[in-house]
Chain A
Amino acid sequence: MRYNILCGGPAGQGPNFIANIISKGLVEKGFYVFSSREYESRIRGGHNYNIITFSDKPLYSNSIQVDILIALDDVSEVVHKDNLKKNVLIIKEEKSNVLAAGSAFKVLGIDFSILDSELKNQGNYNENISEAKKGYAAENRILNLPKVSKRKGLYIWAGNDGISFGASQSGLDFYYAYPMTPSTGVFFKLALEESSSKYVTVQLESEIAVVNAAIGSAIMGKKAMIGTSGGGFDLMTESLSLAGGAEVPLVMYLAQRPGPATGAATYTAQGDLNMARHSGHGEFIRVVSAPGDPIECAALTSQSFYLTQKYQIPGIILSDKHLADSIFSLTEKPSIVKSQVKIKWPARFTSYESDKDKIANSSGKNIILSVQKRKEKYLKLEKEIGAMKTYSIYGKKDSKNMVIGWGSTKGAILDSIKGLDCKFIQIIYLEPFSKKIKEELKKAKNLILVENNSNSPLSSLIAEKTGIFIEEKNKILKYDGRPFFYEALLSEIKKRLK
């Protein structure tokens, strides 16, 4: 069973606030939850909404057809008209969002005490709790949901929570950022916990300042990280090249959003894979990984600290708005690897090709030596990464059908292939690209690719690295700024199974 709640309302009216409280309530009760949010690039008004899909079994994606509509405005019923089920239950409350939450808790059969304790963590408790009680008391519709009981250790996290956790657990010293959706969640989270942590967060005048300050801290032997989205990353790329050339460890969190230029600032896409792999001038080494859920966000962030420190290179963690902002219910705990700082002050660094004393030297012989040093380092990195978990295989291991994906599409793919004659390979490390992936792809007869973009950079990467071409008709590409929904993806995959 999959139940779907849509909670919509104007920005500032708190659809996200309410949706998070309901998600927590459902998880407390024992349901598995996946909750995504859509918001416009505005502070007040408009129409924002969250979709909470829940089940008595684990799930990682949203459905589209709505069972329960919580409308904090007039337009929700109109905007989502086509996706409302015939028997949709509507909670309409334009004035008080906590009143709507009270009502929803009753409908969902969640204990009121959970709502009470959630509201205690917020401001305006007295006013809110009386409104919530009113909503709870007045509601008399109660859904007939499957019986579940509280699951030990089930908790909720968004991708950005995982990134923040991975960074702080890896011994982060400095997080530098310039605000940019959808990476800012990490900045918020880290800043919120800064007073009880050892790290310091710093906002500076531009992304260029941000990345160079991070390099400044890194050369002093501190663990530095930056967070941004495509446009900000563009501004950082000259310095990415500096980190590559001068051998400076630098962890970069790149949360994608759609479109060139400013694009669609608050929506989702996987359009920056090539940028993550190729940006920056000259030939240098980097590591690029793409988590598919919050647990991997934390684990890969810690691996990025480990690898960047060990090899003194830049590392990019590639996420997107859908992963960054969506809430997952989880039981597993991420594994964090320890990372050692290798740089010891006093030391010299330079943006020039240089000799062993870091004095600029552009003789042919020296350039060759510098290039070869980086190449040797690449081979070592490639070897070490080869022994790490660079991809994962899910589903029916001996199936001839194989879905290929990376990053935030993982959830929808996992949900869709359940019960199908199909397996799923999730590519986790995009640079260096594991040679073992070729062997895995060769084992399947029918390759189906899923990406949240229009040019399918992953299929180009696979062709480049393995010589395997994926048929055009087997590419399931979505580029409307929205994530894949379970039912739609299931039907697209089914069409292509052999």
Chain B
Amino acid sequence: MDNKKVRTDATITWCPGCFNFQVLAGMQQFLEEEIRKGKKKEDFAIVAGIGCHAKIFDYLDMPGINTLHGRVPPTCLGMKLANPSLNVFGFSGDGDAYAEGLEHTISIARYNVNFKYLIHNNQVFALTLGEPSPVTELGFKDTTNPFGVKVPSMNPINLLLAAGATFVARIFAEVSQVKEILKEATKHKGFAFIEIIQPCPVFHQDAGYKERFYDLKQVRHDKTNLKAAMEKAEEFDYSSKASKIPLGIFYQVSRPTFEELKLNKSHN
């Protein structure tokens, strides 16, 4: 692998205006910076699921695996046990992480495997042409749900906090935010859950989120306080059209990683 070029020559097949371009650019810049600082490509791994997000695997000339729908977390677990010093970045969509692979999303948080899990949440199954996901808002209509979504959406931030994630963040799909959070998450020794809110220009357009965002840092949120993190997570329920939407790190604490615990063969 050529250590200079982070991107492949593959034709990008995302729609014009897709926010996945922002995530790709953020990731690319982050990797380029790391490589400039002396890291090698083989120090990183890209793992992607199935959906629009997963095409990022083909656009990054990096080692890793484009695995099955929903199976990013256990794949990353197996890789980290095999090589604990590898910097593993898992990419999933909301269908991947919250529908097909939810059991893994919850379990991986509990295990605290030291990899960074980025969820491209566009609140819709885009690649299969617009069906609702577990985080689509009440009332959303599409061909498979002509009478609208009738059950409330889940709140992944709260769910991951309850599951024991040691790093829980939410950002908007914008290059600098992606790059910043990657830096923060990489400093964190443990599992990092990063939800990237991104509109889908075709099936789930910008619902005016931008005007409702605010930065958790600006309200002096205590990210070591689980109760405070839960309260902040409750502010946006993924269906509301009016509430404020907090961005940034909700929660960050430290505890031993799965690989430290499993690879250490002495008793507790």
A359, B58: Cβ atoms under 8 Å? yes
- The interface bits of chain A over 198-241 (1 if a CB of B lies within 8 angstroms of the residue's CB, else 0) are 00101011101110111111111110100000000000001100
Kindly specify which of B62-70, B118-126, B226-234, B249-257 makes contact with the partner chain: B62-70
Please, which residues of chain A bring their CB within 8 A of the CB of B79?
A: 216-217, 219-220
| A195 CA to B266 CA, complexed, in Å | 8
Chain A residue, CB-CB nearest to B83: A220
Q: If the complex has contacts A216-B76, A239-B71, A347-B63, are A360 and B58 also in contact, measured as CB distance less than 8 A?
A: yes
List residues 61-112 of chain B with CB under 8 A from any CB of chain A. 61-68, 71, 73-83, 86, 103-104, 107
Q: Is A373 an interface residue (CB 8 A)?
A: no
B68, A212: Cβ atoms under 8 Å? yes
Chain A residue, CB-CB nearest to B67: A351
How many Å from the CB of B193 to the closest CB on chain A? 16
Q: Is B151 an interface residue (CB 8 A)?
A: no
Q: Which of A204, A212, A345 has the most CB of B within 10 A?
A: A212
A213, B74: Cβ atoms under 8 Å? yes
Q: Is B207 an interface residue (CB 8 A)?
A: no
Q: Is B149 an interface residue (CB 8 A)?
A: no
B82, A210: Cβ atoms under 8 Å? no
How many Å from the CB of A46 to the closest CB on chain B? 32
- Residues of B in contact (CB 8 Å), total 37
Please, which residues of chain A bring their CB within 8 A of the CB of B81?
A: 174, 200, 202, 213, 216-217
Q: Is A350 an interface residue (CB 8 A)?
A: yes
B50, A205: Cβ atoms under 8 Å? no
Chain A residue, CB-CB nearest to B41: A346
Q: Is A194 an interface residue (CB 8 A)?
A: yes
A349, B104: Cβ atoms under 8 Å? no
How many Å from the CB of B63 to the closest CB on chain A? 3
List residues 29-50 of chain B with CB under 8 A from any CB of chain A. 41-42, 47, 50
B64, A215: Cβ atoms under 8 Å? no
Q: If the complex has contacts A174-B81, A204-B74, A208-B74, are A242 and B103 also in contact, measured as CB distance less than 8 A?
A: no
- The interface bits of chain B over 255-268 (1 if a CB of A lies within 8 angstroms of the residue's CB, else 0) are 00000001101000
List residues 336-367 of chain A with CB under 8 A from any CB of chain B. 345-352, 357-360
A345, B78: Cβ atoms under 8 Å? no
Q: Is A486 an interface residue (CB 8 A)?
A: no
Q: Which of B62, B63, B83 has the most CB of A within 10 A?
A: B63
List residues 249-299 of chain A with CB under 8 A from any CB of chain B. none
Cβ-defined partner of A345 (8 Å) among B71, B75, B83: B83
Q: Is A115 an interface residue (CB 8 A)?
A: no
Q: Is B10 an interface residue (CB 8 A)?
A: yes
Please, which residues of chain A bring their CB within 8 A of the CB of B107?
A: 204-205, 209
Q: Which of B42, B68, B74 has the most CB of A within 10 A?
A: B74
Cβ-defined partner of B78 (8 Å) among A194, A212, A348: A212
Q: Is B8 an interface residue (CB 8 A)?
A: yes
Q: Which of A208, A216, A239, A349 has the most CB of B within 10 A?
A: A216
How many Å from the CB of A493 to the closest CB on chain B? 46
Please, which residues of chain A bring their CB within 8 A of the CB of B117?
A: none
How many Å from the CB of B12 to the closest CB on chain A? 12
Q: If the complex has contacts A346-B1, A348-B63, A357-B8, are A222 and B58 also in contact, measured as CB distance less than 8 A?
A: no
Please, which residues of chain B bring their CB within 8 A of the CB of A215?
A: 65, 67, 75, 78
B265, A210: Cβ atoms under 8 Å? no
How many residue pairs at the A-B interface have CB separations less than 8 Å?
114
Cβ-defined partner of A350 (8 Å) among B41, B65, B263, B265: B65
B66, A214: Cβ atoms under 8 Å? no
Q: If the complex has contacts A348-B63, A351-B67, are A200 and B78 also in contact, measured as CB distance less than 8 A?
A: no
- Residues of A in contact (CB 8 Å), total 41
Q: If the complex has contacts A200-B263, A350-B66, are A212 and B57 also in contact, measured as CB distance less than 8 A?
A: no
Q: If the complex has contacts A202-B262, A209-B104, are A214 and B68 also in contact, measured as CB distance less than 8 A?
A: no
Please, which residues of chain A bring their CB within 8 A of the CB of B55?
A: 360
Q: Is A173 an interface residue (CB 8 A)?
A: yes
How many Å from the CB of B42 to the closest CB on chain A? 4
| A460 CA to B242 CA, complexed, in Å | 65
Please, which residues of chain B bring their CB within 8 A of the CB of A209?
A: 73-74, 77, 103-104, 107
How many Å from the CB of B4 to the closest CB on chain A? 15
Q: Which of A202, A210, A214, A221 has the most CB of B within 10 A?
A: A202
Please, which residues of chain A bring their CB within 8 A of the CB of B73?
A: 209
B75, A348: Cβ atoms under 8 Å? no
How many Å from the CB of A82 to the closest CB on chain B? 48
Please, which residues of chain B bring their CB within 8 A of the CB of A219?
A: 65, 79
Q: Is A246 an interface residue (CB 8 A)?
A: yes
B41, A213: Cβ atoms under 8 Å? no
Chain A residue, CB-CB nearest to B71: A212
Chain A residue, CB-CB nearest to B73: A209
Q: Is A176 an interface residue (CB 8 A)?
A: yes
A222, B82: Cβ atoms under 8 Å? yes
Chain B residue, CB-CB nearest to A198: B265
B8, A360: Cβ atoms under 8 Å? no
Please, which residues of chain B bring their CB within 8 A of the CB of A200?
A: 81, 262-263, 265
B67, A213: Cβ atoms under 8 Å? no
How many Å from the CB of A389 to the closest CB on chain B? 32
Q: If the complex has contacts A210-B74, A216-B77, A220-B82, are A350 and B68 also in contact, measured as CB distance less than 8 A?
A: no
Q: Which 4 A-B pairs have the closest CB atoms?
A: A216-B78, A346-B63, A220-B82, A213-B78
12 CB < 8 A contacts A-B:
A174-B82, A212-B68, A212-B74, A213-B77, A213-B81, A215-B75, A216-B65, A217-B78, A220-B79, A349-B66, A351-B50, A352-B66
Given contacts A216-B75, A217-B82, 18 further A-B contacts (CB under 8 A): A174-B81, A202-B81, A204-B74, A209-B73, A209-B104, A212-B67, A216-B77, A216-B78, A216-B79, A242-B67, A346-B42, A348-B62, A350-B65, A350-B66, A351-B50, A351-B66, A359-B58, A360-B66
